Amino acid sequence: MLTQRQLQLLRFIDAYKREHGVPPSFEEMRHALRLRSKSGIHRLISGLEERGYIRRLAYRARAIEVLRPPPEEGWTAERAEDAGKVVRYPFKAVRTPLAGVRDSTQLPLYGRIAAGTPIEALADTSTVIEVPGFFLGQGEHYVLEVVGDSMVEAGILDGDYVVIRRTEHAENGDIVVALIEDREVTLKRLRRRGASIALEAANPAHETRIFGPHQVKIQGKLVGLLRRY
């Protein structure tokens, strides 16, 4: 089973080779997945090789052989890092609004999650998005549009819509909406290191940021993701 980013890369390699007769270069793969550096591609390639989907051939340029075709459309995978396993589940791209979807809920689309603007300033209850009910549990929820590539290796891409449960509490390893020093908001993975709080990116091009316990306020926890193709 593959993570979403591994699946994206495998499909790109397979399609590129079918069209051009040779695999893509690492630079072409980096550009296609909108990564800032090739180190992320190297990790994804290693993951695909370990799972038996591709084989790297020594001493040859563009030396990647596809051993197994990509899984069928409509399936994605997401890493459950804290559980140490990969979760596979059916997922279909959704559009706004979700016409004909039963058991859906209208949630406020607060805007784009970008550094420099607290969540409260983004709220605009006149804009809503319909979200399938299975995303939601108890409590209040809202939706944000993701800007940037800092969480790509967690399967969260620029332009995605994330479903957030409003909460001030989160477990170690949760992906959260964090308000930093009452002025900057970000979507990152939460790690507690003694009395400090680390906000981890899921992209080697972005650094982990360390803060004191009173510098960070949790404003919500990621519970779902919607993507438009």
- Which residues are identified as catalytic? 150, 188
Report the C-alpha gap between 135 and 103 in whole angstroms.
11
Report the C-alpha gap between 132 and 53 in whole angstroms.
33
Report the C-alpha gap between 56 and 51 in whole angstroms.
13
Let me know: does 106 contact 129? Beta carbons within 8 Å. Answer: yes
Going by C-alpha positions, the residue among 17, 84, 79 that lies closest to residue 54 is 17
Q: 198-222: buried (b, 16+ CB within 10 Å) or exposed (e) per residue?
A: bbbbbbbebeebeeeeeebbbbbbb
Let me know: does 35 contact 41? Beta carbons within 8 Å. Answer: yes
Report the C-alpha gap between 211 and 102 in whole angstroms.
43
Q: What is the rounded radius of gyration, in angstroms, for the C-alpha atoms of the chain?
A: 19
Task: Kindly give, in sequence order, each residue whose CB lies less than 8 Å from that of residue 21, ignoring residues fewer than 6 positions away.
Answer: none
Report the C-alpha gap between 51 and 218 in whole angstroms.
36
